[in-house]
Amino acid sequence: MKRPIVSIVAALLSALFISGCQSFRKEPPQDFVLKVIETTDVHGSLVPYDFIKDKETDTSLAQVYSLVKEERAKENQEVLLLDNGDILQGQPIVYYSNFEAVDKPHIAAEMMNYMDYDAGSVGNHDIEAGHAVYDKLVDEFDFPWLAANVVVAGSDKPYFQPYEVFEMNGAKIVVLGMCTPGVPTWLPENLWEGMEFKGMVETAQTWVPLIEEKEEPDVLIGLFHAGTDFTYSGYGETDSLNPNASLLVAEQVPGFDLVLTGHDHQTHNDVVQDSEGNDVLVLGGLNAARAIASATFIMDYQEETDEWDITVSGDITDGNELPVDSEFSEVFADLTQEVKDYVGKPIGTFTRTIASPEAMFQDAPFVDLIHVIQLELTGADVSFAAPLSSNAEISEGEVYVRDMFQLYKYENLLYTMELTGKEIKDFMEYSYGGWFNTMAGPDDHLIAFKKDENGEMIWNERYSSYDTVTRYYNYDSAAGIDYVVDVSKEPGDRITINGFSDGRTFDESALYKVAINSYRASGGGGHLTKGAGLDKAAIAAKTIDSTDIDLRYYLMKWIENAGTVTPEALGNWSVEPAAWWEKGKEMDYQIIYGSK
């Protein structure tokens, strides 16, 4: 059973600081073990079934629950079950609750309440679901959803609850939550309207002294939906809005005993020192419940000093080694079947198979289908789109709702912007500059791989592949215009635009309507900022329209209306020198995907 929450704190800062803390008498201190179990970046893996690929899976909350029940059954041990954000995106089961079955309790809330979670943090993909979804979940969750660094715009008032206090066997444990402050960079403002995201170090420096003064915690836990690599995407240690600042907080803000990480989909189990020389355990699990992080606190009460002698250690459990909890599966069998029926609904027919690997190297039907629909929906002159899955395939024949999650992975909105011809070209130069290598000859790489100081490609254990200069979801091609990419030339001087595909002349000084997804239109990937040289204000001023529902919904409806679809490459762009491209493509396909 969940331990009683002894304090619910909705706090404001300075003169606005109001505590909802309830006074209580501590239980007589007793030696005990505190087990803290973290799930993070579950991304809709609520049950052991992949609704997109129509097959069972080895990891989900159903497996996690078997571990939780085992730990809760141990004598003289208390358990805190925490989730570290990004629960609401990734599998159709949460999409169904987010946007289809909106009049019912959210499936994530039902399942997590059943598991008796004690607290959670808000993730960037939770915000991506929109106000209607996450505001509803705040009420539906039986546990607090924490984010101390997300405040009501124009104030210091927290939008979500900042921290939670638990009393166990005479010890007081405080959990402070934070969300990555990169949200405004990645998501359109309508999804986080009325909110402001503060820096993590700054927020911790504010809240930790307040918590220490008000709560006098015996254990302070940071539940941070943020990674540890503060250099990722070119950020630095001193960037106030660094989106991966969990390690910086652990090292720079004294007071934490445990910092739980998320967002980066990487395991962590390290001990670092804070600025006062105290040890801090930095711990994190993997996405989709593939690895579960657990911290064990040995709580030894010293009566003579009235203090706790605390020893803490971390552990990572492979999710696929855990059995499915049969009771969990039985309780939610009907809900699971309801979603299976939803994703199994036919929406149309494809006359050919399309696959995203082809789109990594050339003009391809997988992305061009998205282009065609974006141009038709918006009436734009130019469309930008990238393959959002690196290894997706939709087979010839009947197409189902589940296939739309292969075609379009994320819940992006569709934006229409007005850009000059030069801004369009600069956008494209930036895209292909990070996508394709500058080839010295036919035996060179086509794809731009990262290299070490010796000029060798860098192997990434996390992805089991070689690192590329930029990720595939930044490989934006264009439709509506005919152009050539010359990979013998340096980035910034590769693109020749021959004109519009309908025969019109392309003018760099003219204004054109552009169809683009909300991630890119918010500056994500740097195409508009670093490429076209636009700041946030200019980007906002150039945005003229947006859909209210995610683009996947419109792709689905378009295919339903069409009935039978023949996806084809538009043939509007090519890579030169052709012989170099052909050989480089063949070599790099083998490196990335292996044998055809």
478-500 tens-digit pLDDT: 999 999 999 999 999 999 999 99
Read off the pLDDT of each residue in 138-154 and give the average, rounded to a whole number. 98
- Which tokens is 117 given? 């979670």
Give the single-character DSSP code of 456.
P
Distance, CA of 404 to CA of 220 (rounded, Å): 43
**What residue spans in the chain does CATH classification 3.60.21.10 cover?**
5-340
Any idea what the Cα angle at residue 470 is, between residues 464 and 475, rounded to 5°?
A: 110
> What pLDDT was estimated at residue 28?
83
18: confidence class by pLDDT, cuts 50, 70, 90: very low
For the CA atoms of 325, 82, 233, 94, what is the dihedral angle to 10 degrees?
A: 50
Distance, CA of 585 to CA of 596 (rounded, Å): 12
Is the per-residue pLDDT at 424 higher than 50? yes
Distance, CA of 88 to CA of 4 (rounded, Å): 26
> What pLDDT was estimated at residue 26?
61
Read off the pLDDT of each residue in 188-207 and give the average, rounded to a whole number. 96
Is the per-residue pLDDT at 204 higher than 80? yes
Is the per-residue pLDDT at 596 higher than 60? no
540-583 tens-digit pLDDT: 999 999 998 899 999 999 999 999 999 999 999 999 999 999 99
Residue 109 CB neighbour total at 10 angstroms: 20
Q: What is the largest CA-CA distance in the chain?
A: 87
Distance, CA of 332 to CA of 339 (rounded, Å): 11
Give the single-character DSSP code of 528.
I
Read off the pLDDT of each residue in 406-410 and give the average, rounded to a whole number. 95
154 burial class (0-12, 13-18, 19+ CB within 10 angstroms)? exposed
Sheet holding 564-565, edge to edge: 397-400, 346-350, 564-565
126-143 tens-digit pLDDT: 999 999 999 999 999 999
> In CATH, which superfamily holds the domain spanning 345-447+475-593?
5'-Nucleotidase, C-terminal domain (3.90.780.10)
595: confidence class by pLDDT, cuts 50, 70, 90: low
> What pLDDT was estimated at residue 2?
41
15: confidence class by pLDDT, cuts 50, 70, 90: very low
Is the per-residue pLDDT at 254 higher than 50? yes
**What residue spans in the chain does CATH classification 3.90.780.10 cover?**
345-447+475-593
Whole-number average pLDDT of the chain: 94
Closest to 515 measured CA to CA, from 383, 332, 321, 392: 383
Q: Which CATH number fits domain 5-340: 3.40.50.2030, 3.60.21.10, 3.90.1580.10, 3.30.1330.60?
A: 3.60.21.10
Is the per-residue pLDDT at 8 higher than 50? no
CB-based contacts of 511: which residues, under 8 Å, 6+ apart?
418, 419, 420
User: What DSSP element (H or E) covers 365?
Assistant: helix 365-378
- Which tokens is 107 given? 């499936």
Closest to 527 measured CA to CA, from 430, 435, 433: 430
> What pLDDT was estimated at residue 7?
37
Q: How far is CA 310 from CA 72, 209, 249, 268, 302, in A?
A: 20, 21, 21, 21, 10
> What pLDDT was estimated at residue 390?
94
257-291 tens-digit pLDDT: 999 999 999 999 999 999 999 999 999 999 999 99
Residue 39 phi/psi, 5-degree rounding, is: -105, 150
Residue 549 CB neighbour total at 10 angstroms: 13
Q: Which residue has the higher pLDDT, 13 or 487?
A: 487
DSSP labels, 117-166: --EEE--HHHHTT-HHHHHHHHHH-SS-EE-TTEEETTSS-BSSB-EEEE
Percentage of residues of the chain with pLDDT beyond 70: 95
191 close to 185: Cβ distance less than 8 angstroms: no
21-70 tens-digit pLDDT: 433 446 789 999 999 999 999 999 999 999 999 999 999 999 999 999 99
> What pLDDT was estimated at residue 21?
41
- Which tokens is 204 given? 């911790």
